[in-house]
Amino acid sequence: MSVKLALNALVATLICAAPIKSARHFLYNNVKTSPDTLLWNGDAKLGPRVFKVLETDSIGIISVATDPEEGKVWKIYKPVKNHRTEVHAARDFTALEGDDIYIGWRSKLDIPENAPTFAVFQWKAYGNDMYQNFPLVFKTLNTGEIELQYATPQKVHIGIWAIPLKRNVWNSYVLHLKISRNAAIGFVEFWYNGMQQQLAGKSPRYYGRTFDADRCDPKWGVYGGDAYTITNYVTKLKIGSTYADVAP
């Protein structure tokens, strides 16, 4: 056998012996992660390639800013008369039926007092057979609160948690989602500033349909609030298999 043929055979053997990993377990920017722990990292230092799409109505701006407390962060600026400025995640990760995932981030909202929005975070559905549109959403209310809402398959939006919004300060969020189209199996748990919260006023776990259409993706930014200039600064965006993977 020639040296060239021997080398080709060796390379083929090594390729066949290498373990095959799903692309959904790795970052677009090739940062090494364990397939069993950190599933996606949306750090602003890595640039916009961590997202699937940047969405804005022409005059909104998505950029990287330097924050005195957090360092490099995403600055998602929605001016007056702009309906949407959002980052649509997560590049090279899509949740599947039966997954058990955690989504963590920190957010600082520069927003007028009592300004309502449709969303500052969405767990948004895409594709066919859509019943909920966004199964889970955080939105600001004209009462000065931020609220977590669950959407039923009939698109009835149920407020399951709310608190007075601390404007222009950093707040931490972690969602634990069991991904399922079956409302008896799917659930959400939620930590705010490191403390697990009671949902619907009675339990840390709220059962519901957490998977809609063909897929659901996380989105951060500002949707709605057209009459206001609003900036959502976000950082430490992560998806993982444990709370420790993503806790900001």
Region 180-189: mean pLDDT is 98
The span from the CA of 213 to the CA of 112, in Å, is: 34
3-state secondary structure of 18: coil
pLDDT of 50-74, one tens digit each? Answer: 999 999 988 999 999 999 999 999 9
Mean pLDDT of the chain: 89
3-state secondary structure of 11: helix
Sign of CA dihedral 136, 162, 109, 189: negative
Region 19-43: mean pLDDT is 54
Peptide bond into 89 cis (omega under 30): no
Residue 22 has pLDDT above 90, yes or no: no
The span from the CA of 195 to the CA of 183, in Å, is: 25
Nearest to 121 by CA among 173, 57, 166: 173
Residue 222 has pLDDT above 90, yes or no: yes
Taking domain 23-246, whether its CATH number is 2.60.120.200 is answered by yes
Residue 33 has pLDDT above 60, yes or no: no
Map 40-90 to HEC letters: EECCHHHCHHHCCEEEECCCCEEEEEEECCCEEEEEEEECCCCCEEEEECC
Residue 5 has pLDDT above 80, yes or no: no
Structure tokens at 181: 């189209």
